[in-house]
Amino acid sequence: MILFAGLAGLLAGAFSMAAGEYISMRSQREAYEREISLEAEELREDPAAEAEELALIYRAKGVDAEEAERIAATIMKDQGAALDTMAREELGLDPDELGSPWSAAFSSLLAFTLGAIVVVIPYLFGSGLAALTTAIALACLALFAVGATIGLLNGRSPMRTGTRQLLVGGAAALLVFGIGHLIGA
């Protein structure tokens, strides 16, 4: 029963996380695309104002006024380059890197599955207290390893970030266990 509940939870959670990530990333991408299309409209309707805005952006970066206007005028000669530059400089967006909803969904599905399978594996090979103890130990090890790896990648202490991940994940597991116990599950 625990094995089937674990597998059901794994599948439900993985697909739920993937669907949520897809919707989130798709919505974000659509918002960015809308901002870029509004910028394209502004470029068509009032290119002089956009050139002035671009020159101001370069002046804010330390380019002298005359040079900033020259750079802006050069960029504005090519509508594609102008839109790309305005998206990057004014909106802070890279039009080529708006994110893929499908890859985000797949990554989320894979990450959730890998995290959840850790506590299901012991029940594939055993049951009872031995499987429960092994599942808890593997979950603790996985939490610590993920935290430590993140710490290494971020130039932080792996021991500190691993311990933090273990404590936060452990607290979440205890909270869920406590709620389950209160409702009689």
Domain boundaries, the chain: 1-111, 126-185
Ordered DSSP codes for 151-176? HHHTTS-HHHHHHHHHHHHHHHHHHH
Please choose, from the candidates 95, 113, 86, 79, the residue with its C-alpha nearest in 3D space to the C-alpha of residue 29.
95
List C-alpha distances in Å: 82 to 6, 10, 117, 139, 185.
53, 47, 49, 51, 60
pLDDT digit of tens for each residue in the chain (185 aa)? 888 888 888 889 899 999 999 999 999 999 999 999 999 999 999 999 999 999 999 999 999 999 999 999 999 999 999 999 999 988 988 888 888 999 999 999 999 999 899 999 999 999 999 999 999 999 999 999 999 999 999 999 999 999 999 999 999 999 998 998 899 86
Angle at 146 between CA 144 and CA 152, to 5 degrees: 100
How far apart CA 59 and CA 165 sit, in angstroms, is 44
Q: What is the dihedral of CA 142, 15, 98, 149, to 10 degrees?
A: 0
Cβ 140 vs Cβ 172: under 8 Å: no
**pTM of the model as a whole:** 0.70
Please choose, from the candidates 87, 173, 81, 82, the residue with its C-alpha nearest in 3D space to the C-alpha of residue 132.
173
